Amino acid sequence: MSLLTVGSVAFDAIETPFGKTDKIVGGAGTFIALSASFFEPNQKLVSVVGDDFPKEMIEKLQSKGVDTEGLQIKQGEKTFFWSGRYHNDMNSRDTLVTELNVLEHFDPIIPASYQGVEYLMLGNLSPQVQRSVIERLEVRPKLIAMDTMNFWMDIALDELKKTIALVDVLIINDEEARQLSGEYSLAKAAKVIRAMGPKFLIIKKGEHGALLFNENNIFFAPALPLEEVFDPTGAGDTFAGGFIGYLASTDDISFDNMKRAIINGSAMASFCVEKFGTQKLVEITKQDLENRIEQFIALANFEMVQTVG
């Protein structure tokens, strides 16, 4: 099948208890596209960078089958830049710098050759930008998934709800699910959020795994207990990329296949956090991924031969 990823392509500067980086390549679109490229060979990207963005990274994406016709390069402008510092628990972070730059007036132009794409992944962006992508596709994709964050719930809740109403799968974390729904219980939150439109809701819980809800089913995917989380930046996007890439490549949106997609996304995310930025994602092989999937199977698998004595 074919997959369109829309999301920021950016620079990050990251500080963790393990060290710090200068400006390195990051951005939701980058992590999603790299992760999805492990599964889906026919991928298209819509994003925007400045003329300071390294050509090598664009070529890296192309070498992984990502069509970058929709990646706008703005001459004389600068790429989106984010800088943050993680606390010791690696679960919370302070934003040090946010320079929107080219992202401030981002108009997601869809190249004609992208029309007819079957799977759409909307990375975290303003809900208006996300919605305009959906509106500009002449044929509705078979499956639309979106990520968002609390920032948009704070400043653009009505716009966000309009976009959420148009998608099939919403992917957010537990705090965001609680904020969006006003419910503490994730089971209740899922009902409230699914009533906003999405048939499927994925709630990411970081080191605690992820939950997938639809009308009648719940699936709880574990996270691999890692000895060290080196840099969590991009883990959620990498998860989303693995999820949508797996769905696009298998072209099966049944609940059972979504479970498999979540396990693949979780496996990709478990690699992402082992090094700074995208470093690990560009190193691993398909064999590495297969080995890690085996670890997830061992981790979550049980067989109930006898329930009551």
Query: Where along the sequence are the contacts to a second copy (CB under 8 A)?
Result: 38-41, 88-89, 184-188, 190, 205, 207-209, 211, 217-223, 225-229, 245-246, 249-250, 256, 259-260, 263-264, 286, 289-290, 293, 297-300, 302-309
User: Which of residues 166 and 289 has its CB atom nearest to a second copy in the complex?
Assistant: 289
CA neighbor of 41 nearest in space, from 56, 63, 8: 63
User: Which of residues 200 and 246 has its CB atom nearest to a second copy in the complex?
Assistant: 246
User: Which of residues 188 and 199 has its CB atom nearest to a second copy in the complex?
Assistant: 188
Closest separation between CB of residue 135 and a second copy, Å?
Answer: 29
Eight-state DSSP code of residue 224? P
Closest separation between CB of residue 235 and a second copy, Å?
Answer: 15
CA neighbor of 143 nearest in space, from 221, 202, 187: 202
Closest separation between CB of residue 186 and a second copy, Å?
Answer: 5
DSSP secondary structure letters along 27-84: -HHHHHHHHHTTT-S-EEEEEEEETTS-HHHHHHHHHTTEEEEEEEEETT----EEEE
Closest separation between CB of residue 232 and a second copy, Å?
Answer: 13
What lies within 8 Å, CB to CB, of 47 at 6+ separation is 6, 7, 8, 9, 27, 29, 70, 71, 72, 108
User: Which of residues 82 and 200 has its CB atom nearest to a second copy in the complex?
Assistant: 200
User: Which of residues 141 and 245 has its CB atom nearest to a second copy in the complex?
Assistant: 245
Closest separation between CB of residue 263 and a second copy, Å?
Answer: 6
Closest separation between CB of residue 128 and a second copy, Å?
Answer: 32
What lies within 8 Å, CB to CB, of 44 at 6+ separation is 2, 3, 4, 5, 66, 67, 69, 70, 111, 113, 114, 117
Eight-state DSSP code of residue 86? E
User: Which of residues 63 and 291 has its CB atom nearest to a second copy in the complex?
Assistant: 291
Distance CA 127, CA 130 (A): 5
User: Which of residues 97 and 297 has its CB atom nearest to a second copy in the complex?
Assistant: 297
Closest separation between CB of residue 25 and a second copy, Å?
Answer: 24
Closest separation between CB of residue 292 and a second copy, Å?
Answer: 9
Task: Give the tokens for residue 172.
Answer: 């957010």
Cβ–Cβ < 8 Å for 188, 200: no
Give 70's strand partners.
Answer: 46
Size (the chain), residues: 309
User: Which of residues 8 and 238 has its CB atom nearest to a second copy in the complex?
Assistant: 238
What lies within 8 Å, CB to CB, of 221 at 6+ separation is 209, 210, 211, 212, 259, 262, 263, 266, 300
